[in-house]
Amino acid sequence: MSIYLFIQLPVGKNSEPNSQVQWLHWDSKLGYSVGRGKAEPSELATIAQPHSHSINILITPGEDVRSLKVKLPNKSKAAMRTIPFQLEDQLCSKLEDLHIASGRVVDKQVCSLVVERQKMQQWKTFSEQCEINFRHIVPDFSLLPSTTDIGSLWSDGERILVNSAAFQGSLSVLAYQHFSATFWPNLSAQLDFYSAGDCLELFPREAIRNNTDLLNVMAQRFSETPSDTLINLAQGEYQTDSQSTLQLKRFFAPAIAFGLLVLTLLVLSITYNYQLDKQNEQLKTQMVSLYKVLFPRDRRITAPYAQMRGKLKNSASDSDQSFLTWLALVAPALTQHKIKLVNLKYDTQPNVLKLQIEASDYNALENLASAINQQSNAPLSATLGTLQKSSLNNSVTSLLTLKPALEK
C-alpha cells in the first residue's frame, strides 16, 4: 500500500462535533504529500473516495491519551494480562472506564496507551459520521521522530508534544518547565526541537527547527516506521476491519444470496426427486392393480410394465384377443360423446372387455352404445348395463360390455 489518508482531530475548544479537521494524502513511494486541506466530517468521505484503497489513520490529540510504562517478569501472555492492574495505581479512573492498548515488550518493559472509553466512543462516532474506517488510531505525540537515544519535541507556543524514552505525551508550558530538568538533563543531546512558527524562547534557539508542519512530519514518520512498533488504539472491541476485509464484505451479501439460492434449489431438487419417487411407487402400484384386472389368471407379477407390454403385443397378433383393436375403435366414440373411462377389465376366455364409464346424463351413455353397435366395420357389439346416477357430482355411471360381433 503506497497511499495513506491521515486525519488529525483538533484540540480542546476547537474539537466541536462539526468542526473542521485537517486531512492529508501521503504517497509513501514518492515520499511526500499528494493532497491536503481542511474539511468538515461530512465532506471527508468524498475526499477519501479517489484513494478508496488507502490505509486510513486517525490522529488524536495527545491531551486525551496517557503513555505509561510497566515492567514485566517475561513476555508471556499471562504477564501481559497483568498490565492493567499494574497501571491501576497510576490512574484516577476505574479500569472498566478505560481502554488500554499495549505495545511490544522491550527489555521486559512495555509501553501502554490509556484513554477513556468515552473518548474512544466519540472517535468511533466520528468514524461513522465521516464514513471512513480507520485501521489505526494513534495519538499525535507518538508520531514524532524518536530513536533510543534522541527524542523529539514539537510546540506551537501553547501545546508541547514530546516523544522520547523518558516521557511521551502532551505537556503544558508550566509542566515542561517544571519537569524538563528531571526528564532531560541535557536538552540538546536528548531532544530534537520543532516549532510551528519562529524560534521559541522556551527552547534552545540553535536547536529549533522552526516552521515545521506537524501533520507532514507525522505522516512521514508513520510511513517510514514498521506498523508493529507503533501502539494502535484500535485494538480489541475498537479494532476495525482491514481494507481487504472491507472489500470482501462487499461480496458478502451477494455470496449469501447465491448460497441461499443454491440451498433453495437443492432443497427443491430433493423435494422434487422425493415426489417423483413417490409418484413412481404409486404408478407401479396402479399398474400392478391394472394388470391384475386385465389378466386375473396371472398369479406371478414381477415386472408389470414388461409383462403387460408382452401381453398386449401378443393380443395384437392373436385374432382371438382383440383388446387393442377394440380400444382403438371405442376411444373416438368416448371422446365424441364426452364420456370418461373410470376402469376396465378384459377377459380372454371368452373375449370380453368391460368398461366402467361416466357421463353427465343418461342420453350420452345410451348414444355411445348405439353408436358402437351401428358402426358397419366394428367387429364387436356393445351392451349397456344398469344406469346409476350419482348424487355427489350429478353424473351417470354404467358398465359397457364389449363382445365379438359374432356373439350378438
pLDDT at 378: 64
Q: Which three cell numbers stand for residue 298?
A: 396371472
- The confidence score (pLDDT) of residue 243 equals 44
Beta carbons within 8 Å of 198's beta carbon, 6+ residues apart: 210, 211
Q: What pLDDT was estimated at residue 367?
A: 85
Tell me how far the alpha carbon of residue 229 is from its chain's centroid. Answer: 33
Cα angle 31, 32, 38 (rounded to 5 degrees) comes to: 150
Q: Apex CA 247: angle with CA 246 and CA 251, to 5°?
A: 105
What is the predicted pLDDT for the residue at 241?
60
d(CA 111, CA 101) in angstroms, rounded, equals: 9
**Cβ count near 11 (within 10 Å):** 17
**Low-confidence spans in the chain with pLDDT less than 50:** 243-244, 246, 319, 407-408
The confidence score (pLDDT) of residue 188 equals 84
With cell 358397419, the residue in question is 376
First to last CA, the chain: 101
Measured CA to CA, the distance from residue 50 to residue 291 in angstroms comes to 78
d(CA 122, CA 60): 11
Q: Which CATH architecture has domain 3-143+214-250?
A: 2-Layer Sandwich (3.30)
Whether the CA torsion 142, 145, 151, 152 is positive or negative: it is negative
Helical H runs in 159-303?
173-183, 187-190, 214-224, 243-249, 252-294
pTM of the model: 0.59
From CA 136, how far away is CA 108, in angstroms rounded? 25
- For 367, phi then psi, to 5°, come to -65, -35
Domain ranges of the chain: 3-143+214-250, 318-407
Bond preceding residue 350 cis, omega within 30 of 0: yes
3 state DSSP class of 53: coil
Sheet holding 3-8, edge to edge: 32-39, 21-27, 3-8, 55-60, 136-139
For 165, list phi and psi in degrees, rounded to 5: -65, -30
Q: pLDDT value at position 138?
A: 95
What per-residue confidence (pLDDT) applies to 360? 86
| Predicted pLDDT of residue 407 | 47
Which amino acid appears at position 329 of this protein? L
pLDDT of 194: 93
Pick the CATH number of 318-407 from 3.30.1360.100, 1.10.260.40, 3.30.365.10, 3.40.50.720: 3.30.1360.100
